[in-house]
Amino acid sequence: MTDLLKRDLQLIAAGVDLFAEAAAGQAARVTRIDWSPPLAGTEADLATVLADPRRADANAEAVRRVQAVRALLVDVLPAGEVLGLGPRTMLHAGPPIDWVRASGPLRGALMGAAAFEGLVADPQDAVGPLERGEITLDPCHHHSAVGPMAGVITRSMWVFVLEDPATGRRAYCSLNEGLGKVLRYGAYSDDVIERLRWMSSVLGPILQAGVRRNGPVDVTAILAQMVQMGDEAHNRNRAGTLMLLRELLPAMIESGFPASDVAEAARFVGGNDHFFLNLAMPACKLALDAARDIPGSTMVVAMARNGTDFGIQVSGTGDAWFTGAAQVPDGLYLGDFGPDDANPDIGDSAITETIGLGGFAMAAAPAIVRFVGGTVADALANTRRMYEITLAEHATFAVPVLDFRGTPLGIDVTKVLRTGILPQINTGMAGKVAGTGQVGAGLVTPPLDIFPKALRALAAAAAA
């Protein structure tokens, strides 16, 4: 039975202001909704999906599962070993794509990776085999993995292995190369390839020894702490990187590797503010994968871009990708690069926003709002706006400036369409010409048209 008559009257008004006004005039507490109609053409599908009897429980379960996951860094291994990648398979960021439609930075990274794997002597020689489909491309997401920017992972690259101890499920991500001219931004010059070789021959084994000697590193716990230290875990990972180094460094030193190698590894990790990104991402992936395939759930479980397409996956619609054209981020450029140099949005790193970090947690990282010439007030407004399209608030990731309110958790397809508010993503920008590298950083959103597609599929599943 309702307790409407037992509690103090509290009103929330959506629609005609006359009624809210009349109630307020009678000393009632009224919260007014800034209501606007949903995206035109989605009314019928919204009604069908909202009427789905499974939805409310399914979404509650999705939110519960995400938060139940604890991501531990348990090992560091070559991708070939843990992902079973053959010599002619390359993983990439975003939804599936072929060479013909691949953008410059993805092509550059694939070419560089071919040279790195020794398939060709010169990256330019890889164009032929890639064009002819002699190298298989597959999304990282289809292999429990994620990769930032181009996200190219090949067998000889080392990956972090994250595991949820309760279920034994795992997620993987490559090691972060640093900023500037790096493979993930599409650069493939000799120094890029050389750095990758050093990472596989020195950095990977030292990190492996460190993790094995130290024992598992609780990445979820570091995420919770870093959000309170000014990181949003996408474009700012400074605190997270230092906490990781603090935890692993003693074991790395004791690993028996030459002191000069350990020092170089420590210098490399400590000197790269983004090193932890490649742990934040698989931690988010591991948590969100727990919420996949719940019939009736309207929660987004992946947002990913391949430089051409922006794709989302939704819990209630299985492995289907809903894709549209990736947008060019709006932000600031390095050196004399400008908007004409930027490639459309790329990378699996939007997995951080999918769980409610990154752009969703801007209020926790005011230092980065000026990427868009914004203010701290903008950061607060960004995070508050994301509460409008999410299902819950994270129990562990708390935003100090919002009185430790939990970060916005679980993007709800129906709320995106009802409010017209798009998920806010903080991202790096790659040069659109293969081989360029990073040209800037900024803010971007998914294309609006992918959400009605997802809704249509949810409606079809609900009606069935």
Partner 1 sequence: MWIPAASSTALRDVLAGPVAPARWLGASASALYVSVDHSSVSAEGPSVVAVVSHDAVRLPCALVLPATAAERPLSALTPMGSRHSVRVGAGRVEWDGPGGSVTVAAVREWRPACVASGEPRAERVEALRTAIKDIGIAYALVDTLVRAGDSRAQAGAVADLLGRGPGLTPSGDDVVAGFLLGARAFGRSVPGAVRAVEERATTATTALSAELLRYATRGECVPEVATAAAAMTGRRVADDALAALLAVGHTSGSALAAGLVAAADVGSLVAVGAA
Partner 2 sequence: MTVEHVEARAGAYADSVTLMQVSREVASTPGVAAALVAMGTELNVDLLAGMGFTRPPSAGPNDLLIAIRAHDDAALSGALAVVAEALAARPAAGGSFAEQPPRTVSSAARVTGPALALISVPGRHAFTEAMDALDAGCDVMIFSDNVPVEQEVRLKDVAAERGLLVLGPDCGTAVIGGVGLGFAHTVAPGPVGLVAASGTGAQQILCLLDAAGVGVTAALGVGGRDLSSAVAGRSTRAALTALDDDPATELIILVSKPPAADVAADIRAFAQTLATPVQYALIGTGQPDLTAATEQALGQLGVPVPSWPHWPGRPASPRTGSLRGLFAGGTLCDEAMVIAAERLGPIGSNIPLRPEWRVDPMTSGTGHVMIDFGDDELTAGRPHPMIDQSLRLERLAAEARDPATSVIVLDVVLGHSAHPDPAAELAPAIEAVDVAVVVSLIGAKADPQDLNRQAAALRAAGAHVYTSNAQAARFAAELIEAAP
Residues found near partner 1 in the complex (CB under 8 A): 8, 24-30
Q: Which does 138 bind (CB under 5 to 8 A by kind): partner 2, partner 1, none?
A: none
Q: What is the closest distance, in whole angstroms, from the C-beta atom of residue 407 to partner 1 in the complex? A: 24
Q: Which does 460 bind (CB under 5 to 8 A by kind): partner 1, partner 2, none?
A: none
Q: How far is CA 333 from CA 83, 328, 329, 368, in A?
A: 36, 12, 11, 14
How many residues comprise the chain?
Answer: 464
Name the residue among 351, 322, 330, 453 with its Cα closest to residue 411: 351
383 to 402: interface string for partner 2, x by CB under 8 A:
-xx-xx----x---------
Q: Is 40 in the site for partner 2 (CB under 8 A)?
A: no
Q: What is the closest distance, in whole angstroms, from the C-beta atom of residue 376 to partner 2 in the complex? A: 7
CA gap 454, 436 in Å, rounded: 34
Q: What is the closest distance, in whole angstroms, from the C-beta atom of residue 106 to partner 2 in the complex? A: 22
CA gap 246, 351 in Å, rounded: 25
Tell me if 128 sits within 8 A of 353, measured CB to CB. no
Q: Which does 415 bind (CB under 5 to 8 A by kind): partner 1, partner 2, none?
A: partner 2
Select 2 or 36, whichever has its Cβ closest to partner 1: 2
Select 73 or 389, whichever has its Cβ closest to partner 2: 389
Q: Which of 127, 380, 433, 448 binds partner 2 (CB under 8 A)?
A: 380
Q: Is 13 in the site for partner 2 (CB under 8 A)?
A: yes
Select 50 or 224, whichever has its Cβ closest to partner 2: 50
Q: Which of 440, 443, 451, 461 binds partner 2 (CB under 8 A)?
A: 440
Name the residue among 301, 347, 358, 410 with its Cα closest to residue 139: 347
Residue 156 one-letter amino acid: S
Cβ contacts of 186 within 8 Å, gap of 6 or more: 104, 105, 106, 107, 108, 109, 149, 150, 343, 430, 431, 433, 434, 435, 436, 437
Structure token pair of residue 371: 């990427």
CA gap 24, 89 in Å, rounded: 64
Cβ contacts of 8 within 8 Å, gap of 6 or more: 29
Name the residue among 293, 399, 396 with its Cα closest to residue 67: 396
End-to-end CA distance of the chain: 32
Q: Pairing between strand 300-306 and 309-314?
A: antiparallel
Select 24 or 50, whichever has its Cβ closest to partner 1: 24
Q: Which does 377 bind (CB under 5 to 8 A by kind): partner 1, partner 2, none?
A: partner 2
* Window 349 to 378, contacts with partner 2 (CB under 8 A): 367-368, 370-371, 373-378
Q: Is 9 in the site for partner 2 (CB under 8 A)?
A: yes
Select 86 or 403, whichever has its Cβ closest to partner 2: 403
Select 9 or 325, whichever has its Cβ closest to partner 1: 9
Q: What is the closest distance, in whole angstroms, from the C-beta atom of residue 227 to partner 2 in the complex? A: 19
Q: What is the closest distance, in whole angstroms, from the C-beta atom of residue 59 to partner 2 in the complex? A: 8
Tell me if 120 sits within 8 A of 200, measured CB to CB. no
Element (H, E) at 75: strand 72-78
Q: Which does 19 bind (CB under 5 to 8 A by kind): partner 1, partner 2, none?
A: partner 2
Q: What is the closest distance, in whole angstroms, from the C-beta atom of residue 8 to partner 1 in the complex? A: 8
Select 419 or 445, whichever has its Cβ closest to partner 2: 419
